[in-house]
Copies of this chain bind each other. A is one copy, B any other.
Protein backbone atom coordinates (compact mmCIF):
# COMPACT_ATOMS: atom_id res chain seq x y z
CA UNK A 1 0.00 0.00 0.00
CA UNK A 2 1.49 3.34 -0.97
CA UNK A 3 1.97 5.87 1.80
CA UNK A 4 -0.75 8.23 0.54
CA UNK A 5 -3.44 5.56 0.72
CA UNK A 6 -2.41 4.73 4.27
CA UNK A 7 -2.58 8.40 5.25
CA UNK A 8 -5.97 8.70 3.56
CA UNK A 9 -7.31 5.69 5.45
CA UNK A 10 -5.97 7.07 8.73
CA UNK A 11 -7.78 10.35 8.06
CA UNK A 12 -11.02 8.52 7.29
CA UNK A 13 -10.63 6.44 10.44
CA UNK A 14 -10.20 9.45 12.71
CA UNK A 15 -13.11 11.33 11.14
CA UNK A 16 -15.27 8.20 11.44
CA UNK A 17 -14.44 7.96 15.15
CA UNK A 18 -15.63 11.54 15.67
CA UNK A 19 -18.86 10.84 13.76
CA UNK A 20 -19.59 7.69 15.73
CA UNK A 21 -19.04 9.50 19.04
CA UNK A 22 -21.60 12.16 18.05
CA UNK A 23 -24.06 9.38 17.17
CA UNK A 24 -23.63 7.73 20.58
CA UNK A 25 -24.22 11.06 22.33
CA UNK A 26 -27.39 11.57 20.31
CA UNK A 27 -28.74 8.16 21.41
CA UNK A 28 -28.68 6.67 17.93
CA UNK A 29 -28.78 2.90 17.38
CA UNK A 30 -25.99 0.76 15.93
CA UNK A 31 -27.02 1.62 12.41
CA UNK A 32 -26.99 5.35 13.15
CA UNK A 33 -23.51 4.95 14.65
CA UNK A 34 -22.25 3.20 11.50
CA UNK A 35 -23.88 5.68 9.11
CA UNK A 36 -22.51 8.66 11.00
CA UNK A 37 -19.07 7.01 11.02
CA UNK A 38 -19.28 6.46 7.26
CA UNK A 39 -20.71 9.87 6.48
CA UNK A 40 -18.14 11.72 8.55
CA UNK A 41 -15.24 9.71 7.16
CA UNK A 42 -16.27 9.71 3.52
CA UNK A 43 -18.78 12.55 3.10
CA UNK A 44 -16.31 15.32 2.33
CA UNK A 45 -14.77 13.30 -0.48
CA UNK A 46 -18.22 12.35 -1.79
CA UNK A 47 -19.30 16.00 -1.95
CA UNK A 48 -16.13 16.97 -3.77
CA UNK A 49 -16.35 14.07 -6.22
CA UNK A 50 -20.00 14.78 -7.06
CA UNK A 51 -19.23 18.47 -7.65
CA UNK A 52 -16.11 17.97 -9.78
CA UNK A 53 -17.71 15.07 -11.68
CA UNK A 54 -15.34 12.37 -10.42
CA UNK A 55 -18.16 9.88 -9.84
CA UNK A 56 -18.43 7.18 -8.72
CA UNK A 57 -16.37 8.42 -5.75
CA UNK A 58 -13.15 6.54 -5.01
CA UNK A 59 -14.66 5.13 -1.82
CA UNK A 60 -17.25 3.22 -3.86
CA UNK A 61 -14.54 1.68 -6.03
CA UNK A 62 -12.28 0.38 -3.24
CA UNK A 63 -13.65 -1.76 -0.42
CA UNK A 64 -10.93 -0.65 2.04
CA UNK A 65 -12.54 2.79 2.08
CA UNK A 66 -15.78 1.21 3.28
CA UNK A 67 -14.28 -1.18 5.83
CA UNK A 68 -12.34 1.51 7.69
CA UNK A 69 -15.38 3.55 8.82
CA UNK A 70 -17.24 0.29 9.51
CA UNK A 71 -14.43 -0.76 11.84
CA UNK A 72 -14.28 2.67 13.47
CA UNK A 73 -18.04 2.65 14.02
CA UNK A 74 -18.05 -0.81 15.63
CA UNK A 75 -15.12 0.17 17.83
CA UNK A 76 -16.98 3.22 19.12
CA UNK A 77 -20.22 1.27 19.50
CA UNK A 78 -18.42 -1.16 21.78
CA UNK A 79 -15.89 1.06 23.58
CA UNK A 80 -17.44 4.54 23.49
CA UNK A 81 -17.04 5.36 27.19
CA UNK A 82 -13.28 4.96 26.87
CA UNK A 83 -12.99 6.63 23.48
CA UNK A 84 -15.18 9.51 24.58
CA UNK A 85 -12.72 10.29 27.38
CA UNK A 86 -9.91 10.49 24.83
CA UNK A 87 -11.64 13.35 23.00
CA UNK A 88 -8.68 15.68 23.22
CA UNK A 89 -6.48 13.02 21.63
CA UNK A 90 -9.15 12.40 19.00
CA UNK A 91 -9.16 16.14 18.24
CA UNK A 92 -5.42 16.11 17.64
CA UNK A 93 -5.70 13.16 15.24
CA UNK A 94 -8.66 14.89 13.63
CA UNK A 95 -6.39 17.85 12.88
CA UNK A 96 -4.08 15.47 11.01
CA UNK A 97 -7.07 14.18 9.04
CA UNK A 98 -8.15 17.71 8.20
CA UNK A 99 -4.64 18.62 7.05
CA UNK A 100 -4.42 15.60 4.76
CA UNK A 101 -7.91 15.94 3.32
CA UNK A 102 -7.75 19.64 2.50
CA UNK A 103 -4.53 19.13 0.52
CA UNK A 104 -5.57 15.89 -1.18
CA UNK A 105 -8.95 17.42 -2.09
CA UNK A 106 -7.41 20.54 -3.59
CA UNK A 107 -4.90 18.56 -5.65
CA UNK A 108 -7.65 16.26 -6.98
CA UNK A 109 -9.77 19.25 -7.97
CA UNK A 110 -6.82 20.77 -9.84
CA UNK A 111 -6.34 17.41 -11.60
CA UNK A 112 -9.95 17.59 -12.74
CA UNK A 113 -9.33 20.97 -14.35
CA UNK A 114 -10.66 23.43 -11.77
CA UNK A 115 -8.92 26.77 -11.51
CA UNK A 116 -7.10 27.78 -8.30
CA UNK A 117 -9.83 29.46 -6.24
CA UNK A 118 -12.50 26.77 -6.81
CA UNK A 119 -9.87 24.05 -6.31
CA UNK A 120 -8.92 25.50 -2.92
CA UNK A 121 -12.61 25.66 -1.99
CA UNK A 122 -13.01 22.00 -2.95
CA UNK A 123 -10.04 21.19 -0.74
CA UNK A 124 -11.77 22.89 2.17
CA UNK A 125 -15.03 21.07 1.36
CA UNK A 126 -13.16 17.76 1.39
CA UNK A 127 -11.84 18.55 4.84
CA UNK A 128 -14.98 19.90 6.49
CA UNK A 129 -17.82 18.34 4.45
CA UNK A 130 -17.92 15.06 6.36
CA UNK A 131 -18.32 16.84 9.68
CA UNK A 132 -21.04 19.11 8.26
CA UNK A 133 -23.04 16.12 7.00
CA UNK A 134 -22.51 14.40 10.37
CA UNK A 135 -24.03 17.38 12.16
CA UNK A 136 -26.97 17.68 9.74
CA UNK A 137 -27.82 13.99 10.19
CA UNK A 138 -27.43 14.27 13.95
CA UNK A 139 -29.86 17.21 14.01
CA UNK A 140 -27.54 20.01 15.04
CA UNK A 141 -26.16 23.12 13.37
CA UNK A 142 -22.67 22.30 12.03
CA UNK A 143 -20.10 23.00 14.77
CA UNK A 144 -17.85 24.40 12.08
CA UNK A 145 -20.21 27.43 11.96
CA UNK A 146 -20.19 28.02 15.71
CA UNK A 147 -16.93 29.70 16.49
CA UNK A 148 -14.53 26.79 16.27
CA UNK A 149 -11.52 27.66 14.13
CA UNK A 150 -11.66 24.71 11.79
CA UNK A 151 -12.57 25.68 8.24
CA UNK A 152 -10.14 28.56 7.86
CA UNK A 153 -7.01 26.45 8.53
CA UNK A 154 -8.36 23.95 5.99
CA UNK A 155 -8.85 26.67 3.40
CA UNK A 156 -5.37 28.05 4.10
CA UNK A 157 -3.76 24.63 3.70
CA UNK A 158 -5.65 24.03 0.47
CA UNK A 159 -4.57 27.42 -0.87
CA UNK A 160 -0.92 26.74 -0.11
CA UNK A 161 -1.20 23.44 -1.97
CA UNK A 162 -2.88 25.09 -4.95
CA UNK A 163 -0.37 27.93 -5.18
CA UNK A 164 2.57 25.55 -4.80
CA UNK A 165 1.23 23.40 -7.62
CA UNK A 166 0.79 26.46 -9.83
CA UNK A 167 4.41 27.39 -9.08
CA UNK A 168 5.29 23.89 -10.32
CA UNK A 169 6.93 22.84 -7.08
CA UNK A 170 7.26 19.07 -6.56
CA UNK A 171 4.05 17.43 -5.32
CA UNK A 172 5.58 15.99 -2.16
CA UNK A 173 6.80 19.44 -1.11
CA UNK A 174 3.44 21.03 -1.90
CA UNK A 175 1.63 18.37 0.12
CA UNK A 176 3.88 18.78 3.14
CA UNK A 177 3.71 22.58 3.03
CA UNK A 178 -0.08 22.72 2.67
CA UNK A 179 -0.73 20.09 5.30
CA UNK A 180 1.69 21.73 7.74
CA UNK A 181 0.02 25.13 7.45
CA UNK A 182 -3.38 23.60 8.17
CA UNK A 183 -2.10 21.32 10.93
CA UNK A 184 -0.11 23.92 12.86
CA UNK A 185 -2.88 26.51 12.67
CA UNK A 186 -5.50 24.00 13.77
CA UNK A 187 -3.41 22.62 16.64
CA UNK A 188 -2.69 26.15 17.86
CA UNK A 189 -6.43 26.88 17.68
CA UNK A 190 -7.17 23.82 19.84
CA UNK A 191 -4.36 24.57 22.28
CA UNK A 192 -5.04 28.31 22.65
CA UNK A 193 -8.81 27.95 22.24
CA UNK A 194 -8.89 30.42 19.35
CA UNK A 195 -12.35 31.28 18.08
CA UNK A 196 -13.56 32.54 14.70
CA UNK A 197 -14.92 36.12 14.81
CA UNK A 198 -18.62 36.57 15.50
CA UNK A 199 -20.82 39.34 14.06
CA UNK A 200 -21.04 42.31 16.43
CA UNK A 201 -24.02 44.49 17.21
CA UNK A 202 -27.62 43.44 17.75
CA UNK A 203 -29.08 40.90 15.34
CA UNK A 204 -32.25 42.45 14.02
CA UNK A 205 -35.16 40.01 13.92
Question: Could you list which residues of chain A lie within 8 angstroms of chain B, going by C-beta atoms?
Answer: 23-33, 35-36, 46, 50-53, 55-57, 59-61, 63, 66, 76-77, 80-81, 84-85, 87, 112-115, 117-118, 121-122, 132, 136-142, 144-147, 151-152, 195-199, 201-205
Say yes or no: B201 contacts A30, CB within 8 Å.
Answer: no
Which of B60, B80, B204 meets A81, CB within 8 Å?
B204
Residue in B closest to A119 when the chains form the complex, CB atoms: B60
Copies of this protein in the assembly total 3
Q: A196-B30, A198-B27 are in contact. Are A60 and B52 (CB under 8 A)?
A: yes
Which of B23, B76, B151, B205 meets A25, CB within 8 Å?
B205
Name 8 A/B residue pairs within 8 A (Cβ), A-sorted.
Answer: A24-B199, A29-B198, A30-B196, A32-B146, A51-B57, A60-B118, A80-B199, A137-B145
Complex CA distance for A115 and B112, rounded to whole angstroms: 24
8 closest Cβ pairs, A-B complex: A32-B145, A84-B204, A53-B55, A29-B196, A60-B118, A139-B141, A28-B145, A30-B197
20 extra interface residue pairs, beta carbon distance < 8 Å, beyond A32-B144, A81-B204: A25-B205, A27-B198, A28-B145, A29-B146, A30-B196, A31-B145, A32-B145, A32-B146, A35-B145, A51-B55, A51-B60, A53-B55, A56-B118, A66-B117, A66-B118, A77-B199, A80-B199, A81-B203, A84-B205, A136-B137
Complex CA distance for A151 and B33, rounded to whole angstroms: 12
Say yes or no: A63 contacts B24, CB within 8 Å.
Answer: no
Closest chain B CB from A159 CB (angstroms):
13
Complex CA distance for A144 and B30, rounded to whole angstroms: 10
